[in-house]
Structure 1
Amino acid sequence: MKKKHNEQPVINERIKYSKVRLIDSLGSQMGIYSSEQACKIALEQGLDLVIISDKSDPPVCRIVDYGKYKFTQEKKAKEAKKKQQNINLKEVKMRYKIEEHDYKVRLNQALRFLQSGDKVKVTVVFRGREIQHINLALELLNKMAKDLSEIAEVQKSPSRDGRYMTMILSNQKT
């Protein structure tokens, strides 16, 4: 009886185990009962019998108000989803002959991406014979790494890839 994602939990008469470990609505253990007996006890209290864990032997069931139980489970799932953080890879492209103002614009872009929790791929593009000036591109990438050193760390040091030279920066907090 595997429970699939987003599937309703097994409750009341649908519990097909011969014996279950029963926990009352206050959270204290009542002992091991047959599933029919446990279901009867729950219904006498006007509540439902829900399988909490089918991994143990015998499975653990709890007497709860199913509506409230379902609500709290959904609330926990929403909270867990909120805490997940998606990290994207953003790219900032430039040429090695970039002017100072344009460099500052790219620096601010990279800073904004890093502050929002994304990784930044800084790329220097070469055209034609510019490929001879790899040392200037390396200086530019190192300058950017130094300028962003307070918030970022170099995750992948500058390396040449065809007509591009790239470096990856990530936020120091992540």
Structure 2
Amino acid sequence: MAFPPRNRGVNPRFQRQVEPEHRINERIRVPQVRLVGDNVEPGVYNTQDALRIARELELDLVEISPNADPPVVKAVEYKKFLYEKKKKEKEMKANSKQSEVKEIRFTPSTDDHDFDFKSKHAEKFLKEGNKVKCYVQFRGRAIMFQDRGQVLLLKFAERLAEVGSLESLPKMEGKRMIAVFAPKVTKKK
């Protein structure tokens, strides 16, 4: 005898209604609101009067700032309002660039040519707005030459002084001596 499959979902009778992101129209339950919007006389109105004005313009009354005193509502088409809000958020996200931390590795016996090559890369990274974490890796007995590593990192800091600033002096972390550079902020005129 086969049993009917069990419905492991939630009983539809007990599902909660999804609340809209903003309170609109009759869901606004405060005595007074500050009304704003196109083709509307801005000011403080009774909620019922503001709702009547929005209905006359065939628009929705959307609460945009519930924590203000009195709460700010806007007479606007709700779907259009949500669309513009999403569009604005997407644009802001596209404009904000996440800065990365780029790493550059040296050894205590790094040659001048390698040093120049790596410093050019670091300059490029800093100009792009990224941080640069450079470190001197000590292996085996090379740990005895910590002074060489410190001199190398300070020379590197001097080389990058025009495009970046040293966040902290070189310090040892395990078998690495680390220095972090941040891009210099250029003042816009």
| TM class, shorter-length | 0.7 to 0.9
Which among 31, 38, 46 is matched to residue 18 of structure 1? 31
Q: 1-side partners of 2:123 and 2:22: how far apart?
A: 46
What residue ranges of structure 2 are gaps of 5+ in the alignment? 1-19
- Listed as ranges, the matches of 1:81-160 within 5 Å are 81-160=93-172
Identity of aligned residues (%): 34
Indicate the SS of the match to 1:156.
Answer: coil
Q: Count how many residue pairs are aligned between Structure 1 and Structure 2.
A: 167
Q: 2-side partners of 1:49 and 1:86: how far apart?
A: 37
Partner of 1:167: 179
Indicate the SS of the match to 2:167.
Answer: strand
Cα gap change, 1:38 to 1:27, in 2 (>3 Å): closer
Q: 2-side partners of 1:132 and 1:31: how far apart?
A: 75
Q: Tell me by how many angstroms 1:170 deviates.
A: 1.0
Q: Tell me by how many angstroms 1:87 deviates.
A: 2.3
Query: Are the counterparts in 1 of residues 132 and 180 from structure 2 also a CA contact under 8 Å?
Result: yes
Partner of 1:56: 68
TM-score scaled by structure 2?
0.77
What residue ranges of structure 1 are gaps of 5+ in the alignment? 1-6
Query: Are the counterparts in 2 of residues 155 and 170 from structure 1 also a CA contact under 8 Å?
Result: yes
Q: 2-side partners of 1:127 and 1:119: how far apart?
A: 25
TM-score scaled by structure 1?
0.83
Indicate the SS of the match to 2:99.
Answer: coil
Q: Does 1:79 align with 2:82?
A: no
Query: Are the counterparts in 1 of residues 32 and 44 from structure 2 also a CA contact under 8 Å?
Result: no
Cα gap change, 1:51 to 1:120, in 2 (>3 Å): same
Moved over 6 A (4+): none
Cα gap change, 1:112 to 1:27, in 2 (>3 Å): farther
Cα gap change, 1:118 to 1:55, in 2 (>3 Å): same
Indicate the SS of the match to 1:123.
Answer: strand
Cα gap change, 1:155 to 1:19, in 2 (>3 Å): same
Cα gap change, 1:30 to 1:120, in 2 (>3 Å): closer
RMSD: 2.1
Q: Tell me by how many angstroms 1:143 deviates.
A: 1.5
Q: Tell me by how many angstroms 1:153 deviates.
A: 1.0
Q: Tell me by how many angstroms 1:27 deviates.
A: 5.3
Cα gap change, 1:59 to 1:126, in 2 (>3 Å): same
